[in-house]
Chain A
Amino acid sequence: MTFIHKYPKAAKVAKANFIVAFIALAIGGLFGFVQALHRTNVFRGFFNSGEYYTLLTGHGVLLALIFTTFFIAGLFVWGVTRSLDREPENLTFTWSWFWLMTIGLVMATIAILGGLVPDSSIRAAVLYTFYPPLQAHPMFYIGLALVVVGSWMAGADWFWSYRKWRAENPNERIPILAFMTLFTMLMWYVCTIGLALEVVGLLIPWSLGWVTEIEPLLPRTLFWFFGHAVVYFWLLPAYYVWYAILPKLSGGRLFSDSMTRIVFIIFLLLSTPVGYHHQYADAGISVGFKFYAMATTLLILLPSLITLFTVVASMEHGARQRGGKGYLKWIGKLPWDSPAFVGCALAGIMFAAGGFSGMINASMNINVLIHNTIWVPGHFHLTVGTAVALTFMAITYWLLPQLTGRKLKYKTLALIQPYAWFLGMTLMSNAMHRAGLAGVPRRTAEPEYSGFDFEPIFGTMTEMKWQIAIGGTILMISLILFLWVVVASWLAGEKSDKPVDDYIPEPLSGVEHTPAILDNMKLWFGLALLLVVLAYAFPLWEMVADGIFSPGALPRPS
């Protein structure tokens, strides 16, 4: 018996979400490959430089917004169903959020890809941050709004299951998988307030022409109200895998149940009030608020550092169970031949490196050195592009058999895949970081200028260019391997009653040591809202006090 046999309905929902996620990953990844060759001038034959920005919008939206959201939805359906031991409460409701999100995604994608059709009026080359006054077709904003509304309903679905479960189990502690899901969604509700205000309150009416002018700083600030927390919305599900599943894959068990809960609570509290750290270089926001955001941002390092400890401790425990000895020699005893384990472990290592460049980003007066340079994509391909994406790919090797009842095919290819991703990303990301230090901008189709040359401090421009192009190519190969293994296993994997070992052992320091207050959702949610009000009420008030749409700028076609 595995998941699909016990919960066939939930398995179907999770699989549907995964299909959408992987299609988005395939298309978005292909665009990334084209960008890597185009920017570096290794090959520019696919598209012209004006179209580059349409591709880049597609890459950002399909990977950072769509792939992540749908994968997370599938992962959470699996976790909630399994840990509460119940199928979704009402399948009509469940499928309606799935289809709402899907319709929204298709609308946004059509708006973006319309930009590749000559003279099309349907365009959305506004990148995934869509700062006005560059204006996209209304379909783009409406599509994104539908995806968000769908995700809210998905969250409601999981809270619904939890309520029902609670009624039947009044004295039980919230199971850890459900706990992590619910706290991630609470954080999502807090941060998407900003996005909803921006998109529904400002951008949709403006793109439909109901108002002509827009104040650029206000929607930009609302975007970043959402925009940092969204990175934790991607990351927490990866943590969920690292906390709940990775210890098992390494042959051990989770180190501490209470620490896990504390980490998720800190993220709920601190993820949103840090948004201004994306606006360190903006005029119109006072240095005092930037400083508040910086202190909060550095404080939010704490839960990630605790995670590092817990994850490494759990892996060490696992390795010792498998006979590992010594201070570091136990590392060799980890299952380096298991694709799911290898992917998660390499993702974790890259995340440590990404965390380091993140500390530089966070330190606001050092940040100006690298703000909007290609250092920044160098940073987030380690975090969302690897820590999150590679973890998701890796855990698919373990989840897919549970959802399909079929064994994984091509284990060797599946094992090569995470190593290839790691190699490709090492090349691409280190070169991006160094090019950024020389001042090479991000989001630029041809970062070559006629009036001056960049002066790199570490390395040469040529070597960096080739590392980005070759790294991008290896990443593309890795992605093809992943998709190949998934499609082949899904369609033709050997059917089995127990296609994978899906047992998850109890934590070392279990829930009986966990203080009850950690499960008090109302308390933590209220506190999170309070911190947001402290951070945002005054600056937002200043921006709207002179009129919501003024000082107003006119829309410009994208």
Chain B
Amino acid sequence: MHIHKFEQFWIKLSFVLIAFFIVTVVYGFVAMDLKVIGDHATIDPQNLADTKFGNPGVREVTRNGQTEYEVYVQTIQFAFNPGTAQPIVVPANTRVTFYITSPDVLHGFDVAGTNLNTMSIPGQVAKFTTIFPEVREYGIVCNEYCGPAHHVMEGKIKVVPKSEFDKSNLVE
């Protein structure tokens, strides 16, 4: 077979480009802690009441001697619970782990303008951990079509200074 020398050069260049992208992603994973959602747990979407999702909200836990927070969120047609009726309040500079699932249809959970972005799939629990460095508010958008009022589905995360974090709203 005859491959023109320019074409051979181009093919080599293409491989370099492909390798560059793979290396960038791996670097993000390893060095910058840019992870993606993985396989966490399955759950019966018709029986969330018997799980921690039955009492959704922010919980305090101690892990490795550190105080951390866990947030259980149900995405429902057409609200985040918590998030829509009242904001999700978490302290800054603290590890926060989100657990998200849906009792009805697919939804999205996207903290606008950040890389906190996951699908919420009935039967699956999405889990990710983050630290909010800044004191500010973020909007949460449902970014997967979930029915005729999908466009009203929004919520809020309020990041407050550690010292002002009010523990009386935590759930057990």
Interface residues of A (CB under 8 A from B): 49-50, 52-53, 125, 127, 131, 133-134, 215-217, 220, 255-256, 258-259, 279-287, 290, 294-295, 298-299, 301-302, 305-306, 309-310, 313, 359, 362-369, 371-373, 438-439, 441-447, 449-455, 509, 513-515, 546, 550-554, 556, 558
Q: Nearest chain A CB to B144's CB is how many angstroms away? A: 6
Chain A binder among B30-38, B64-72, B89-97: B30-38
**Do B25 and A553 have beta carbons less than 8 Å apart?**
no
**Do B119 and A282 have beta carbons less than 8 Å apart?**
yes
Q: A298-B18, A309-B7, A368-B117 are in contact. Are A53 and B148 (CB under 8 A)?
A: yes
Q: A283-B118, A365-B29, A513-B2 are in contact. Are A553 and B151 (CB under 8 A)?
A: no
- Given A302-B15, A552-B123, 12 other A-B residues pairs in contact with their CB atoms under 8 A: A216-B106, A217-B121, A281-B36, A283-B124, A287-B35, A298-B18, A368-B34, A372-B144, A452-B139, A514-B1, A556-B105, A556-B147
**Do B7 and A371 have beta carbons less than 8 Å apart?**
no
**Do B77 and A556 have beta carbons less than 8 Å apart?**
yes
Q: Nearest chain A CB to B12's CB is how many angstroms away? A: 11
**Do A364 and B119 have beta carbons less than 8 Å apart?**
no
**Do B7 and A259 have beta carbons less than 8 Å apart?**
yes
**Do B105 and A134 have beta carbons less than 8 Å apart?**
yes
**Do B36 and A364 have beta carbons less than 8 Å apart?**
yes
Give every chain B residue within 8 A of A313 (Cβ-Cβ).
Answer: 4, 6-7
In the assembled complex, the Cα of A444 lies from the Cα of B141 at a distance in Å of 10
Q: Nearest chain A CB to B161's CB is how many angstroms away? A: 20
Give every chain B residue within 8 A of A217 (Cβ-Cβ).
Answer: 121, 123-124
Q: Nearest chain A CB to B163's CB is how many angstroms away? A: 25
**Do B37 and A282 have beta carbons less than 8 Å apart?**
yes
Ranked 3 nearest A-B pairs via Cβ = A452-B139, A439-B112, A551-B123
**Do A281 and B145 have beta carbons less than 8 Å apart?**
no
B4 interface neighbour in A256, A305, A369, Cβ under 8 Å: A256
Give every chain A residue within 8 A of B10 (Cβ-Cβ).
Answer: 305-306, 309
**Do B18 and A301 have beta carbons less than 8 Å apart?**
yes
Q: A363-B21, A364-B25 are in contact. Are A443 and B145 (CB under 8 A)?
A: yes
Q: Mark B137-156 against chain A: 1 for CB-CB distance below 8 A, else 0.
A: 11101111111111110111
For residues 107 through 142 of chain B, which have their beta carbon under 8 Å from a beta carbon of chain A? 108, 110, 112-119, 121-127, 137-139, 141-142
**Do B119 and A452 have beta carbons less than 8 Å apart?**
no
Give every chain A residue within 8 A of B113 (Cβ-Cβ).
Answer: 438-439, 454-455
Interface residues of B (CB under 8 A from A): 1-4, 6-7, 10-11, 14-15, 17-18, 21-22, 24-25, 28-29, 34-40, 42-46, 77, 100, 103-106, 108, 110, 112-119, 121-127, 137-139, 141-152, 154-156
Give every chain A residue within 8 A of B43 (Cβ-Cβ).
Answer: 551
In the assembled complex, the Cα of A515 lies from the Cα of B11 at a distance in Å of 19
In the assembled complex, the Cα of A488 lies from the Cα of B22 at a distance in Å of 50
**Do B141 and A449 have beta carbons less than 8 Å apart?**
yes
Give every chain A residue within 8 A of B104 (Cβ-Cβ).
Answer: 133, 553-554, 556
Give every chain A residue within 8 A of B151 (Cβ-Cβ).
Answer: 49, 52, 444-447
| A to B CB contacts below 8 Å, 16 in the list | A50-B148, A133-B122, A255-B4, A258-B1, A282-B119, A282-B121, A282-B126, A286-B39, A294-B22, A298-B18, A302-B11, A372-B119, A441-B108, A551-B123, A553-B105, A553-B123
Q: Nearest chain B CB to A188's CB is how many angstroms away? A: 25
**Do A365 and B119 have beta carbons less than 8 Å apart?**
no
Q: A306-B10, A513-B2 are in contact. Are A286 and B117 (CB under 8 A)?
A: no
**Do B39 and A284 have beta carbons less than 8 Å apart?**
yes
Q: Nearest chain B CB to A90's CB is how many angstroms away? A: 37
**Do A301 and B17 have beta carbons less than 8 Å apart?**
yes
B46 interface neighbour in A50, A305, A309, A552, Cβ under 8 Å: A552
**Do B1 and A368 have beta carbons less than 8 Å apart?**
no
* Chain B minimum-CB-distance residue to A134: B105
* Chain B minimum-CB-distance residue to A441: B143
In the assembled complex, the Cα of A452 lies from the Cα of B87 at a distance in Å of 12
Q: Nearest chain A CB to B11's CB is how many angstroms away? A: 7
Identify the interface centre among B104, B117, B127: most chain A CB within 10 Å of its CB. B117
**Do B28 and A551 have beta carbons less than 8 Å apart?**
no
* Chain B minimum-CB-distance residue to A444: B151
Q: A371-B117, A438-B113, A439-B113 are in contact. Are A290 and B2 (CB under 8 A)?
A: no
**Do B38 and A287 have beta carbons less than 8 Å apart?**
yes
**Do B7 and A281 have beta carbons less than 8 Å apart?**
no
Q: A301-B17, A365-B34, A553-B122 are in contact. Are A372 and B143 (CB under 8 A)?
A: yes
**Do B44 and A281 have beta carbons less than 8 Å apart?**
no
In the assembled complex, the Cα of A514 lies from the Cα of B15 at a distance in Å of 23
**Do A216 and B145 have beta carbons less than 8 Å apart?**
no
Q: A281-B37, A282-B119, A372-B117 are in contact. Are A299 and B18 (CB under 8 A)?
A: yes
Identify the interface centre among B36, B117, B142: most chain A CB within 10 Å of its CB. B36
Give every chain A residue within 8 A of B155 (Cβ-Cβ).
Answer: 451
